[in-house]
Amino acid sequence: MSSTKVIHALYNDDDVLMDAVKQTRKAHHHIEEVFTPFPVHGLDKAMGLAPTRLAICAFIYGCIGISVATWMMWNIMINDWPQDIGGKPSFSYLQNMPAFVPVMFEMTVFFAAHLMVITFYMRSRLWPFKKAENPDVRTTDDHFLMEVAVSGNEEEMVSFFKNTGAVEVKVIEKH
């Protein structure tokens, strides 16, 4: 089993963290991950992360929801068990479409919301009973941690991160 070394640079201010991320990218060091106690606006762009494709998934899930709703209403109200409700016969789906719009909307939202939650958990690898992967408990309270792969001179990198404003810099063996 191979092990690699990473540097954990701990910051106590989000603005200092943002500057450090920019300096780290400029110095061509590879940022493995950044742990923050709250979302930091612009951090994803500063880290050079690609835009998320979750919106595409939401659209596809909404299309699945409206398709299921359309099939379900046609099958139940027109094909399988047509009923004369309030003197309005169910001869075709299009004649009854205005009555079906709320159901179509709700099923679209239902499918998109529930499938997005499942997709988010799967993409984030958040399974039930999963052990937390947080390297430092202080990042859930008031500190920010940048994890960077060690490449080249280790002492030089440690001094680089101390100069970026880190309050603590540690070299960790990662298995």
CATH assignment at residue 31: 3.30.70.1150
Q: What is the pLDDT along the chain (175 residues), one digit of tens a residue?
A: 455 889 999 999 999 999 999 999 999 999 999 999 999 999 999 999 998 888 999 999 999 999 999 999 888 888 888 777 766 667 777 777 788 899 999 999 999 999 999 998 998 888 888 888 888 889 889 999 999 999 888 889 999 999 999 999 999 888 6
Residues 72 and 93 grouped into a single domain: yes
Query: How many structural domains is the chain composed of?
Result: 2
What is the side-by-side strand order in the sheet with 144-149?
31-35, 144-149, 4-11, 168-174
Of the three residues 123, 142, 165, the one that is the final residue of a domain is 123
69: burial class by Cβ within 10 Å (0-12, 13-18, 19+)?
A: buried
CA distances 33 to 27, 36, 54, 141, Å, are: 16, 10, 20, 17
Residue 147, strand partner residues:
8, 33
Q: Is residue 68 part of a domain?
A: yes
Q: Is residue 82 part of a domain?
A: yes
Q: What is the pTM of this model?
A: 0.71
Q: Is residue 128 part of a domain?
A: no
Domain hosting residue 103, numbered range: 54-123
Of the three residues 123, 143, 161, the one that is the final residue of a domain is 123
